[in-house]
Amino acid sequence: MERCAARRAPEEERRVRANAREYNEKFQYASNCIKTSKYNIVTFLPVNLFEQFQEVANTYFLFLLILQLIPQISSLSWFTTIVPLVLVLTITAVKDATDDYFRHKSDNQVNNRQSQVLIGGVLRQEQWMNVRVGDIIKLENNQFVAQADLLLLSSSEPHGLCYIETAELDGETNMKVRQAIPVTAELGDTSQLARFDGEVICEPPNNKLDKFGGTLYWKENKYALSNQNMLLRGCVLRNTEWCFGLVIFAGPDTKLMQNSGRTKFKRTSIDRLMNTLVLWIFGFLVCMGVILAIGNAIWEHEVGVCFQIYLPWDEGVHSAFFSGFLSFWSYIIILNTVVPISLYVSVEVIRLGHSYFINWDKKMYCAKRRTPAEARTTTLNEELGQVEYIFSDKTGTLTQNIMVFSKCSVNGHSYGERQMPEPGDVQDVLGHKAELGERPEPVDFSFNPLADPRFQFWDPSLLEAVKLGDFHVHEFFRLLSLCHTVMSEEKSEGELLYKAQSPDEGALVTAARNFGFVFRSRTPKTITVHELGQAITYQLLAILDFNNIRKRMSVIVRSPEGKIRLYCKGADTILLERLHPVNQDLSSITTDHLNEYAGEGLRTLVLAYKDLEESYYKDWSERLHRAGSAPEAREDHLARLYDEVEHDMMLLGATAIEDKLQQGVPETIAILTLANIKIWVLTGDKQETAVNIGYSCKMLTDDMTEVFVVTGHTVLEVREELRKAREKMMDASRSVCNGFSYQEKLSSKLTSVLEAIAGEYALVINGHSLAHALEADMEVEFLETACACKAVICCRVTPLQKAQVVELVKKYKKAVTLAIGDGANDVSMIKTAHIGVGISGQEGIQAVLASDYSFSQFKFLQRLLLVHGRWSYLRMCKFLCYFFYKNFAFTMVHFWFGFFCGFSAQTVYDQYFITLYNIVYTSLPVLAMGVFDQDVPEQRSMEYPKLYEPGQLNLLFNKREFFICIAQGIYTSILMFFIPYGVFADATRDDGAQLADYQSFAVTVATSLVIVVSVQIGLDTGFWTAINHFFIWGSLAAYFAILFTMHSDGLFRMFPNQFRFVGNAQNTLAQPTVWLTIALTAVVCIVPVVAFRFLKLDLKPELSDTVRYTQLVRKKQKTQHRCMRHAGRAGSRRSGYAFSHQEGFGELIMSGKNMRLSSLALSSFAPRPSTSWIDTLRKKKGCEGSSAGSPSGAADKTLRV
């Protein structure tokens, strides 16, 4: 394999000469060979071991293994550490090897793809990894551009056109057009291309997928190059028989590879806490070692020195102090199991199981799209059960991103009626009662043989205006048929298929098509439109393309009559200020229509045109050509020229497109709100649309005290509006609360007085105001105000602002954040949040590729959090509590034994028991609990959203719970040692012989320990499966089987030096005294735990206990409840509000939409005050949190019972 991606100095510019490998190789450009694999057969073992020992835990146990090889300090055999260490390293190595195998396989598949390379005037088959910068390559239809970024030289299509799909680049499945520059488009055969020796000087490798700047020098002329001339790695050639391209960037220098930077590694709060606790445990281990070492030194100095004749010190030990020093290391070895080596591996196994449960969940599978839910990471599952803030995109996330041309305004007249309800509906889409029989027929487009049969419109007056030849209506649809970048594909005569860059654009062109202005085909210089049956070809003079700054798109065309006209469509805020003053009255009327459409949640665009004089256009075109060839600041020059020509335009009207709301969105938001999850919508829509979004999604309700709208254009205005909002909230709180309740709230010592507000508020803020609110000196004020509100909607925001809002909450709030979106503009927000969720929708797969979890519909978020997230958090917490408990109970016995063995670092247990305890006797039961346990069934998790709150408050595993676990473990170890010790002091066998001996004591303590921890995990298990039963009782059976085997005659005969105590287990466990001792130890260890849990359940039950009890009562009173249900009151909740929504593709189309929703099925949520312990802890958490805002209204939440 050739050299792969060698390191070299950064480039300032790239120089590439065609058909000149020797010339290009002197620049040492990267080769086309890619290597994503990390290992090969020779390097795997050393490199993988080196990487694994970067982990502190693995290094620590390697250090212990080395200590155990020193005879003076080791009282345990080396295999007690090496067996679990090797097991952990092996499991990790197998996983790494498997992953790297697939990387090798992928690399080989890509590198060995065949390509046609022009070498010596002849096309030759070459592997992709052998392609070099400067080579000319031939691509054929449907071929994948696998490894290089190419400059398009020529193609089989006229004018050097070719069509590509860029799904792997930007997730868009629509076709795009690329074009060769005219001077190379004529190079159609290999002989001409072989003589081509042009040199390209261009920008160095970068990650900007939508930009390219360079110049071609050939035959003493220079030609400007842009992104429209490039075929990037990852695209697929479509509808083009062949094309030739010059390799500009290869391998890791391609724009796709430049974009594949490493995603920030996310860790859960439990991970961070675990690392802290392990350090504490290690410190505790050192303290125990110091205590025992001091004890050893004192004992040797006071007592041991008197017995040197028959208990001499080891060779090299000359003082009690040195004996204590060696004893310290010996006890570090013996007590090392308080730092469990299997902890991290067990955690990863449990997380992997939880991830598979998400992947296998049929209730999160979308049959329509054949898309299952996918956990794209295994490290964040339990954090799904701790989310407090959700940041959601709108288009494609809350809505379907399926656009329908709904209304329009032409020359001051508004056209279009909303679609009527389906049969059986009793309300129209605006929530008004619909009379039976009030069902107009859709407009009949049968006059147009090219009409799309799926398109429907309900206002026949617009079609009548078209047929009557209304100039403005004709120009309106002519603009829609000309001003776009849609590609048309005609599969058969009259059967048109449009490929649009965005659903909005497709909807507009389809509307024009049905009203008689049919976009038929395009070339680089022409657009053909069938206008009311007559084919007309317009000369395409220029395309002034859309971007996020311009927020508009224009085309300049020449009609067959020779008239030059500019057609423009874009956001109302941009276009209305660029109109000719004569449009003032029309602009006012159109603005009213726009506000009306936005109020209904429709997405709007403004349309305008301008006639250009021939002389002006000629002069402008020349300046445009010079700007396009400028070596520097090309984009700035073009932007100024675009801005110049797009002024003094004549207003035509506006379009309104409906974006349908996804099924189950209001219900999902309502349920998540009841779970005390705050949902912020970050949208690019205008203010009116954003407010309607809130009402439609049930984020905003009529019952709210007030909805604050922040629209300030300056820092002072924004600060004043935020201040007034805070004052209103505090004033209302003081007036509503009586003296007692208000004082009670003040006495809780909340960090912010806003946390004590009464009532529900919402905040809507515009993008320009948000830019000021996010400044360093105001961000805390903004966050404090926003967090005191029940709902927050940020409208007209940019992708960067989305990420900044998420980062702000992460910075000041001790809360887990989740971002969910479906488009490329959501990627930064998804990567910034603690958890990123991608919706696989209409806007491609970029959001999915950047996400941690993905599915196809927003409503699945409810199940992801309330079921999988809550269960994952519960299981992980119970696993960790039990894991630390059992290890302390096991290890601390050695500590107590040290005081009775002269601090000689002697172990209580047999060394084989020490080796197998964590990997055989107790590993599988705790794994089963960590993977399968439940406190309540999944239906109840969805039914009772308040069950989610313990995760948000981090109640189930924290420093307090950790100390309780280790205290229980220490308590168990004390009883485990001292009860058998006290019994064995005077006990005798059945034959009268003394019972006490070291091996019998070890067997008794070990058996007691295994039984006690098995009973304990039985008590901790809330959901029993066959696997739990098998693992718990199977582990007990395995213990006794191994115990009797190790004390058997057979093993003694085979390994007499290793298994010396023949028959000890059988003899010990045959004594009734031993079993009574074991039973007494188990009872004394377990009964206090059972009693405590019983009293807690009776006196201070948790919410899950109440839910379980409620279900038991319901089962017993099933008949009575059935009768009660028949007599129950009818739900009084009304249907969803008419609702508006968010931005269009990128930020080109700013608007929203209205969609009637199904009635919110929450009438069965009977009001029930949340339990006081949750409220108290939430207030305490507020005290510990930052002063920058805090959740409000927690005490007012209700629980469905």
Instruction: Give the active site residues.
Output: 393
- CA–CA separation, 380 vs 384, rounded Å? 7
Which candidate, 337, 305, 33, places its Cα nearest to that of 1009?
Answer: 337
| Distance from chain centroid for Cα 1172 | 33
Determine which helix (DSSP H) or strand (DSSP E) holds 49, and give its type and residue range: helix 44-52
| Distance from chain centroid for Cα 401 | 20
Tokens 């346990």 found at: 933
79-111 and 44-52 helices, crossing angle to 10°: 120
**Signed CA dihedral, 502, 505, 511, 517: sign only:** negative
Triad 205, 209, 212: Cα angle to 5°: 60
DSSP alpha helices (H): ranges in 1021-1048?
1026-1046
Cβ-contact 665, 601 below 8 angstroms: no
Cβ-contact 1178, 948 below 8 angstroms: no
- CA–CA separation, 990 vs 1005, rounded Å? 20
Tell me which amino acid residue 227 is: N
Cβ-contact 133, 24 below 8 angstroms: yes
Which candidate, 1085, 1065, 911, 1064, places its Cα nearest to that of 1009?
Answer: 1085
C-alpha distance from residue 1111 to each of 948, 1064, 1101 (Å) = 18, 51, 15
* Max intra-chain CA distance, the chain: 124
Cβ-contact 761, 790 below 8 angstroms: yes
Which candidate, 67, 976, 1148, 1200, places its Cα nearest to that of 574?
Answer: 1148
Paired tokens of 673: 């709100």
1130 CB-contact burial (10 Å; exposed 0-12 / middle 13-18 / buried 19+)? exposed
Backbone angles phi and psi of 437, in degrees to 5: 90, -10
Residue 565: CB partners within 8 Å, gap ≥ 6? 556, 557, 559, 609, 610, 611, 612
Residue 653: CB partners within 8 Å, gap ≥ 6? 408, 409, 410, 411, 472, 476, 590, 606, 607
Determine which helix (DSSP H) or strand (DSSP E) holds 403, and give its type and residue range: strand 399-410
Written in H, E and C, the secondary structure of 149-174 is EEEEEEECCHHHEEEEEEHHHHCEEE
Cβ-contact 373, 363 below 8 angstroms: no
Residue 164: CB partners within 8 Å, gap ≥ 6? 145, 175, 176, 177, 178, 231, 235, 236, 237, 238
Cβ-contact 846, 171 below 8 angstroms: yes
- CA–CA separation, 802 vs 165, rounded Å? 28
1118-1127 and 1103-1116 helices, crossing angle to 10°: 90
- CA–CA separation, 1049 vs 1047, rounded Å? 7
- CA–CA separation, 223 vs 181, rounded Å? 8
